[in-house]
Amino acid sequence: MSTADQPRPVTANSLENLGTAGIRHGFFTRDGGVSEGIYRGLNVGLGSNDDPDKVRENRRRVSAWFGLPLERLATAHQVHSPDVVVVTGDYDGNRPQADAQVTASRGIILGVLTADCGPILFADPENRVIGAAHAGWKGALGGVLENTIEAMIGLGAKRDNIRATLGPSISQASYEVGPEFVDRFLASNRDFEAFFTPSPKPGHAMFDLPGLTVRRLTQAGVTADSVGLCTYAAPETFFSYRRTTHAGEPDYGRQISAIAIKED
């Protein structure tokens, strides 16, 4: 595989120095994959209608970027839940229905797939515990972020040491929602009004999912930031479910965000 064919993920400044703790991470883009057509690039979505062999090759390339075999790439069957699973060193390829995973085991890649929802990577470099969560509006509202932190603490992480970074996701400028959506959030917490601004369409609003995500993380007591990249606005770089829907396309790819503790 030539350099041009290799994935080139985005990395986060707040997680950049985790290499000294043997932790590597990447928010992968469409670059470096073998899929074609509407899936062009590094589509890792097992649930897409892309050629399964190409999806497998793309996932293998992600694993190789970490220096690990495909069999060590752990991704869940995501269902927009608040559920978190612990992945151990004897990982067998199982894909449980959950939206976050945590581990203290070396040589396991935790990956989350997204196409507008928020991928969040977590790490406690001192205690060498990591996590990866998928948070759309349901997950962010339902507690998947807080549950991931608690699961990491259950493996020996310390809240004050945990850093979390939100990867590429849909921005407020591209996320228009209806009044029933706003009402659902305000019924949960009136303070969530801060994450909505008026839309040009009467009765609608623009929703700041990244802002809500980072706020919930910081309120949970961890250091949190965002890479500040919008999936909807960058079609050459990221897959986007909403952009696909607006374009009337039949399906869409998924990008991956992943983190691993290196083997010694």
Q: Could you report the per-residue pLDDT of 80-137, keeping only the tens digit for each? A: 999 999 999 999 999 999 999 999 999 999 999 999 999 999 999 999 999 999 999 9
**DSSP-assigned letters across all residues of 63-105:** HHHTT--GGGEEE-B--S-S-EEE--TT--S---B-SEEEE--
Res. 239: pLDDT tops 60: yes
Structure tokens at 225: 């930031």
Rg of the chain taking only CA atoms, in angstroms: 18
Mean pLDDT of 54-76: 97
Structure confidence at residue 3 (pLDDT): 41
Structure confidence at residue 1 (pLDDT): 43
CATH of domain 3-169+224-261: 3.60.140.10
What's the mean per-residue pLDDT of the chain?
Answer: 95
Mean pLDDT of 186-214: 96
**Residues whose CB is less than 8 angstroms from the CB of residue 234 and which lie 6 or more positions away in sequence, other chains included:** 168
Q: Where are the domains of the chain?
A: 3-169+224-261
Res. 233: pLDDT tops 90: yes
Res. 4: pLDDT tops 60: no
Structure confidence at residue 2 (pLDDT): 42
Q: Could you report the per-residue pLDDT of 179-199, keeping only the tens digit for each? A: 999 999 999 999 999 999 999
Structure confidence at residue 20 (pLDDT): 65
Q: Could you report the per-residue pLDDT of 159-184, keeping only the tens digit for each? A: 999 999 999 999 999 999 999 999 99
Structure tokens at 103: 């581990």
Structure confidence at residue 263 (pLDDT): 84
Classify residue 250 by burial, with Cβ atoms within 10 Å: 0-12, 13-18, 19+: exposed
Structure tokens at 23: 């932790």
Structure confidence at residue 217 (pLDDT): 98
**Residues whose CB is less than 8 angstroms from the CB of residue 237 and which lie 6 or more positions away in sequence, other chains included:** 29, 30, 31, 168, 229
Structure confidence at residue 50 (pLDDT): 98
The H-or-E segment that residue 181 falls in is helix 179-188
Res. 243: pLDDT tops 80: yes
Mean pLDDT of 221-250: 97
Long-range contacts of 194-200 (CB under 8 A, 24+ apart): 197/172
For the entire predicted model, the pTM comes to 0.96
